[in-house]
Amino acid sequence: MKKGLLVFLIMPVFVCFSQNKNDLKLWYKQPSGKAWENALPIGNGRLGAMVYGNVEKETLQLNEHTLWTGGPNRNDNPLALDSLAIIRQLIFEGKQKKAQEIANRVIITKKSHGQMFQPVGSLQLSFDGHENYTNYYRDLDIEKAVTKTSYSVGSVSYTREAFASFPDRVIVMRLTTDKPGTISFTASFTTPQSQAVVRTTSAKELTIAGTTMDHEGVKGLVKFKGIVRIKLEGGTMTANDTTLLVNGANAATIYISVATNFINYDNVGGDENKMAAAYLDKVYARSWSAMRSSHIAAYQKYFNRVKLDLGSTAASRFPTDERLKNFNSTDDPQFVTIYYQYGRYLLISSSQPGGQAANLQGIWNDKIRPPWDSKYTININAEMNYWPAEKTNLAELHEPFLQMVKHLSVTGGQTARDMYGARGWMAHHNTDIWRASGAVDGALWGVWSAAGGWTSQHLWEHYQYSGNKTFLASVYPILKGASAFYVDFLVEHPVYHWLVINPDMSPENAPAAHQGSSLDAGTTMTNQIVFDIFSCTIKAAEILKKDAAFIDTLKQMRKRLPPMHIGQHGQLQEWLEDIDDPKDNHRHISHLYGLFPSNQISPYRTPELYSAARTTLIHRGDVSTGWSMGWKVNWWARLLDGNHAYKLIQNQLTPVGTNEGGGGTYNNLFDAHPPFQIDGNFGCTSGITEMLMQSANSDLHVLPALPDGWRTGSITGLRAIGGFEIVSMKWKDAKLEEVVIKSTIGGNLRLRVPNPMKFGAGGSLRTATGKNVNSFYQVEEIPMPFVSPKAMIAPPQLKATLVYDIPTQAGKSYTLVAE
Ligand code: FUC
């Protein structure tokens, strides 16, 4: 008590922190304490750390992108092939329950259900005598990708800064003080890895070494090594068996390097000791400030491409956790800007070229057995992670996901052959670092064969944004293989005679009519996915002038896919039969894949389906798991309803635990399923972009879904398909004032705007006529939907827009201003 009082009395000024109105910082007035979801994430795509900012015991919980249980393995169930005919027959006869029982025995794996992404452990720094502190502050500056903690003990101020260096591949933390000789602490490791050995070396390094666990019959083969070296300015350091003791330093810089023996999904022949030491040796001599500047420059190369300003209010002066609490009852548009940019920060930090794709938790996980193994759920979650990549100008960061698709096209080739007797390649609803492509979890979830069709469209998307034909040629065999699987796997429906996938399911949802079985034939989402993968394979082959006969087959078969159905409640049917329950509020609304990420449903081209999709969304409700709400922001944006999209952002930016029966957001702005899943962060960043710009409906549409609350703002750097970049865009009172668009590959720019525009240099714009001639904006026509005679269909109520055609030249920018 006395000491506390004394500290208070001798503190001359009580520093009161608050945020500048437009700062891109997450900041707090208190340490994380025990909750991992209060800690702040840093990462360089290879290493991730959660920095707690606890005063007397700082924790950096560490992850490395390749640290997974098990080793190269396969998990196919070869019994599938012999039972395929009977399963199909039962489903066509309406005996879905029986089909599911058999599928559980013959399709679901008897081996691994996927391996687990695991933590390395935590570096712990203990500061004796720092129990009582004042002036506490910590933040994560997402403009710099640096986190900071500062506080005072008595009259001495301490600061810690940390980042995960992009160019240098190590994590660094620097401890400073305003009074020389006052930095003393003990460094040690804790780890949930049961086989890990922690020790110090004669060179006064603190090391951790181990091998990951065996899991579900697969031997743990990933060996890892972590090395910590501390560089002191003044003071002394001694090493005990398992700890380093620093005493009386003026400053200390802690370098953390971690590596594993993982080389590729089929090779664990690397040398973790050599790699971990090599990363450290390369940078140890460099100064903190040099490392910090090159880190920030490398980060900002990506981050600075997009700047968003939605305005700010007095609400932005409060710490992040308070703003989160207040968000639904105040006007805080700058909080949306932070959340938006945080999505980009998280993608840059968890997904770098040459590294692993961002998993269910990005690269941040402290659990030895994480929820859903922290792996890749490819019936939605992993795709969602990459929705912001192209349009928020982070195309290079799409690469790890595209690599994963490439690997799956190899492992999944054997699955297609062995389990289904089909050519090409396929994957079920999950995969992991070993690119397992068998069916897992149980038939209710696992008997889904559309992952090849969906994931490989990311390759097509990457091409659509850049127009890079060399890239397209390099991935064409993967698109072709994904299509070839469906060519062989589609069967004729005995009643409707359409070509359908059987066994099939609409991810994770089982209609009441099927007594708890999800199995069915020709579900809407799968039909849409097969339509899309056929369509982009056809286009790619035509561009590359290849495979005429195969393309003809795809065209013939595409004509025979089932059309979409509008059911008795006016809803888009999830299944071929009209069995949707309007009270079903399942988190997966897979059949709206056709609205987003696909563009088969559009307010302008398919008004009836627009109306049906809207009815379905209303039936399903708003509040749901985090990722589901993130998807809904995109859907409402595509339905051109900015206010409803904003309502979903509000639902998502609600402290976890307050949305009844749903997810929300943690104090560190991680998305809550709950538990933490990063997909919702990425989904919402994508959705906010879709509110401001879309390039899905044969035109580039700016301000398609602006909510009433964002009447004035600006954004730079968004990308659209066909190589267009919105260099900058400003709007005021909900009116587009100016837009500058750069064309990187030329072609007609068909621009849809909310108010009349003219060329900035003078000269009027030409109103669009006929079909858009730009080849990137050719949207495939879908068959007319089947409409139930009972369905009530409200025509879309759309705001008036103007559409112009601007012929562009590669490399030129075009400035338009309001008339
Ligand atoms: C799917 C979803 C769950 C969860 C899991 C990781 O199975 O249905 O909600 O997101 O993936």
Q: How is the chain split among helix, strand and coil, in percent rounded to 5?
A: 35, 25, 40
Atom of ligand 1 nearest to the CA of 441: 7
Q: What is the pLDDT of residue 258?
A: 98
261 lines ligand 1 (CB under 6 A): no
230 lines ligand 1 (CB under 6 A): no
Q: What is the pLDDT of residue 6?
A: 40
676 lines ligand 1 (CB under 6 A): no
Is there a contact between 618 and 632 (Cβ–Cβ < 8 Å)? no
- Tokens 């039972």 belong to 83
743 lines ligand 1 (CB under 6 A): no
- β-pairing, 747-753 with 802-808? antiparallel
430 lines ligand 1 (CB under 6 A): no
Q: Record the tokens describing residue 74, joined without a space.
A: 């396969």
Give every CB contact of residue 570 below 8 A, 6+ residues apart in sequence.
Answer: 611, 612, 615, 791, 792, 793, 794
Best residue for ligand 1 mutational test, from 505, 508, 589 (most atoms within 8 Å of Cβ): 508
Tell me how far the alpha carbon of residue 764 lies from the centroid of ligand 1, in angstroms: 51
The angle at the Cα of 553, spanning 552 to 558, to the nearest 5 degrees, equals 100
Is there a contact between 191 and 228 (Cβ–Cβ < 8 Å)? no
Q: What is the pLDDT of residue 20?
A: 75
Give every CB contact of residue 147 below 8 A, 6+ residues apart in sequence.
Answer: 40, 42, 51, 53, 138, 139, 140, 141, 161, 162, 163
Q: Record the tokens describing residue 783, joined without a space.
A: 């068959």
Is there a contact between 359 and 375 (Cβ–Cβ < 8 Å)? yes
Q: Record the tokens describing residue 571, joined without a space.
A: 């809803």
590 lines ligand 1 (CB under 6 A): no
Q: Which among 375, 482, 483, 384 has a CA at the least distance from the CA of 430?
A: 375
58 lines ligand 1 (CB under 6 A): no
375 lines ligand 1 (CB under 6 A): no
- Tokens 């260099």 belong to 727
Q: How many angstroms separate the CA atoms of 442 and 428, rounded?
A: 11
Q: Which among 661, 654, 657 has a CA at the least distance from the CA of 684?
A: 654
Q: Quote the DSSP letter at residue 110.
A: S
624 lines ligand 1 (CB under 6 A): no
Atom of ligand 1 nearest to the CA of 360: 6
For 243-281, what is each residue's pLDDT tens digit? 999 999 999 999 999 999 999 999 999 999 999 999 999
CB atoms within 10 A of CB 41: 27
Q: What SS3 class is residue 461? A: helix
Best residue for ligand 1 mutational test, from 359, 445, 509, 673 (most atoms within 8 Å of Cβ): 673
Q: What is the pLDDT of residue 502?
A: 98
Where the chain has pLDDT below 50, the residues are 1-16
Best residue for ligand 1 mutational test, from 373, 381, 631 (most atoms within 8 Å of Cβ): 381
CB atoms within 10 A of CB 379: 23
Tell me how far the alpha carbon of residue 406 lies from the centroid of ligand 1, in angstroms: 23
For 538-591, what is each residue's pLDDT tens digit? 999 999 999 999 999 999 999 999 999 999 999 999 999 999 999 999 999 999
Conformational region of residue 409, where left means phi above 0, alpha means psi within -120 to 50, and beta covers everything else: alpha
510 lines ligand 1 (CB under 6 A): no
Q: Record the tokens describing residue 108, joined without a space.
A: 């679901």
Q: Which among 557, 193, 216, 624 has a CA at the least distance from the CA of 380?
A: 624
DSSP labels, 476-505: HHHHHHHHHHHHHH-EE-TTT--EE-SSB-
673 lines ligand 1 (CB under 6 A): yes
Q: How many angstroms separate the CA atoms of 676 and 374, rounded?
A: 10
Is there a contact between 130 and 183 (Cβ–Cβ < 8 Å)? no
Give helix 80-92 / helix 399-420 axis angle, nearest 10°: 90
Q: How many angstroms separate the CA atoms of 692 and 756, rounded?
A: 17
Tell me how far the alpha carbon of residue 445 lies from the centroid of ligand 1, in angstroms: 10
Q: What SS3 class is residue 332? A: coil
Conformational region of residue 803, where left means phi above 0, alpha means psi within -120 to 50, and beta covers everything else: beta
Give every CB contact of residue 280 below 8 A, 6+ residues apart in sequence.
Answer: 170, 227, 229, 255, 257
The strand pairing partners of 257, in sequence order, are 227
Tell me how far the alpha carbon of residue 360 lies from the centroid of ligand 1, in angstroms: 9
Q: How many angstroms separate the CA atoms of 230 and 201, rounded?
A: 13
Tell me how far the alpha carbon of residue 429 lies from the centroid of ligand 1, in angstroms: 10
- β-pairing, 121-126 with 183-190? antiparallel
Best residue for ligand 1 mutational test, from 116, 374, 377, 677 (most atoms within 8 Å of Cβ): 377
428 lines ligand 1 (CB under 6 A): no
Compute, in degrees rounded to 10, the torsion defined by CA atoms 110, 677, 425, 695.
Answer: 160
